[in-house]
Amino acid sequence: MRSSIFTIIISFILGLFLAVAPALAVDSSLPAIDNPFDSLQVKIPGMQRFSDAALSRSGANISFSTNWIGEYDMGVYNFGIAIIGILAVLAIAIGGVMWIMSFGNPGRVGEAKEWITGAILGLVLALGSYILLNTINADLVRMRPIQLGYVPPKTETIDGISITEGGSDSTAGIGGTVRDCADEATLIDLNKTNTHCDIFTASDPRITPRLAAELTKVCDTAHQLGVQQVEINSAFRTMEHQRRLYEDSGRNSRKVAPPTCNAPHVAGVAIDAYAYPRSATGQETLKRAFQANGWQRYCAEAWHFQPSYDPPGNACSP
């Protein structure tokens, strides 16, 4: 009990010493920044949650200021001091007991004194390290925030279709697992199935019967709306295929869903499709055909569609 109070007092004092610079003013028109605290691989006991960081605007410059590394260092330092505090209290207690048990034996009293003085000396050194470093060079203990410039997501146009980086062919936004892997035994070949769609360029030509039935309605609507041909670019994906795509993306889960059964293509509940010949207006018409049949399209991926029976996973669905 005594040691824990001691620890708290020490942590508090050091917390005051190592107080970090405040974050810059928040600009709500800029994208939010995820606090990495919850995804830390090594959590330090007693460490406080990182301060939230935000993008801030200064004239034409958008920058990001964070002191998470400093805050993490502070957590490690405080934790180390707490451990030293506990050990010191323990060593003093051992010394005290030895003193009592020495019954006046000078050799044993001396040994007990060594324990106690050693513990106190260690504690003074640990607590004095801050003052020592501060005296040598104040910058050694001053945690300055890191300033980073902000690079906005790139929007590029491929075949007349506008594409914004940082898309969402992913499971982001879904709380927990909501999908199961498609049953491969029931898959059918797109080339041998009459979906009323026209071109199949998917590297894996398989599709679930349920998705094929849904797709047939969409392709009919698309043709009625004037889309010349519908190209199916991707349908079902094996876990291996999804893993490869995920690795190729640099494990960017904002771009490609991680290889789990939750990934829409692995679950057999998504297709990537284009209006052919490709054009922005053609793709818009194709989108309307999908929407007329209750499908959703990813905001950042003009080609990715999910049917109505799939749980709504994505906040963004234009």
Contacting residues toward Zn ion, per CB under 5 A:
169, 270, 272, 304
CA 216 to mean position of chain CA atoms: 37
Residue nearer to Zn ion on the CB measure, 71 or 272: 272
Residue nearer to Zn ion on the CB measure, 112 or 297: 297
The CB-nearest residue to Zn ion is 304
User: What is the three-state SS of 10-55?
Assistant: HHHHHHHHCCCCCCCCCCCCCCECCCHHHHCCCCCCCCCCCCCCEE
Place of tokens 């990537």: 272
CA atoms within 13 Å, Cβ hemisphere of 65: 16
CB 90 within 8 A of CB 3: yes
Residue nearer to Zn ion on the CB measure, 217 or 304: 304
In whole angstroms, give the CA distance from residue 276 to residue 282: 7
Residue nearer to Zn ion on the CB measure, 212 or 270: 270
Minimum CB distance to Zn ion, residue 310 (Å):
12
Residue nearer to Zn ion on the CB measure, 266 or 270: 270
Of 169, 156, 165, 155, the residue nearest 303 (C-alpha): 169
Minimum CB distance to Zn ion, residue 231 (Å):
13
Minimum CB distance to Zn ion, residue 184 (Å):
18
Minimum CB distance to Zn ion, residue 274 (Å):
12
For the chain, state the CA radius of gyration.
31
In whole angstroms, give the CA distance from residue 91 to residue 83: 12
Residue nearer to Zn ion on the CB measure, 112 or 263: 263
- List, in sequence order, every residue forming a beta bridge with 200; answer none if it has no partner: 232
Minimum CB distance to Zn ion, residue 153 (Å):
18
CA 257 to mean position of chain CA atoms: 13
CB 23 within 8 A of CB 54: yes
Full DSSP string of 228-257: SEEEEEE----HHHHHHHHHHTTS-TTTB-
Residue nearer to Zn ion on the CB measure, 44 or 261: 261
Residue nearer to Zn ion on the CB measure, 77 or 236: 236
Minimum CB distance to Zn ion, residue 241 (Å):
12
Phi-psi region of 38 (alpha: psi -120 to 50; beta: other; left: phi over 0): alpha
Minimum CB distance to Zn ion, residue 270 (Å):
5
- C-alpha dist (Å) from residue 122 to 115, 128, 263, 311: 11, 10, 54, 60
Minimum CB distance to Zn ion, residue 73 (Å):
41
